[in-house]
Amino acid sequence: MRFFYFLAYVGAILVVSVAYILLVYFQYIDWTGGDAITKYFVPPHRGWGYVFGYYFVRFLLYYLISFAVSVFFVLFAMFLSKKFGGVFFRPEEPFLGAISIFLLGHRDFGYWWIIYALLVFGLALAGSFVKRKRLGDGARFSFYWLWLPSSLLVIILRGLIFKLL
């Protein structure tokens, strides 16, 4: 099961990478076929670096930051699981969290993955408190069912906040 989530994580990275390449290609096509001004944004007037750099700053940079955070999260979660004998995370959970963190790196979401991480850990703390104090159960509260629904909740909250503003 863990391998399936790893493949889903790699698949998400590949989809975003292909989307970046397609965006650059279509932007190049648009600029070459555009009016007189946009033709100066592409070779031979400018180098290929300008076309790639334009979408790097507008699209890929956000994903690179969220990718780095998601890789750090996977490594840190695996380290914690190994050190404490799997107390904190099930084997597939690091990849579920990493997928959500990475996909929330889209430019439209900005740095909402920070709010996502705070929400997940806040809900886990609240769930652990209720489980231990109110229900008297000594077992830990699992993150397993929080990863993806929390990312959807962050997306919905972002949409609602921007509609209200």
Segment 34-74, tens digit of pLDDT: 677 777 777 777 777 777 888 888 888 888 999 999 999 99
At 114-134, the pLDDT tens digits run: 888 888 888 888 887 888 777
At 70-121, the pLDDT tens digits run: 999 999 999 988 888 877 788 888 998 899 889 888 877 777 888 888 888 8
Q: Global pTM?
A: 0.81
Listed in sequence order, the residues at least 6 apart from 127 whose beta carbon sits closer than 8 Å to its beta carbon are 141, 146
Q: What distances in angstroms separate CA 151 from CA 7, 44, 105, 127, one per listed residue?
A: 19, 43, 11, 17
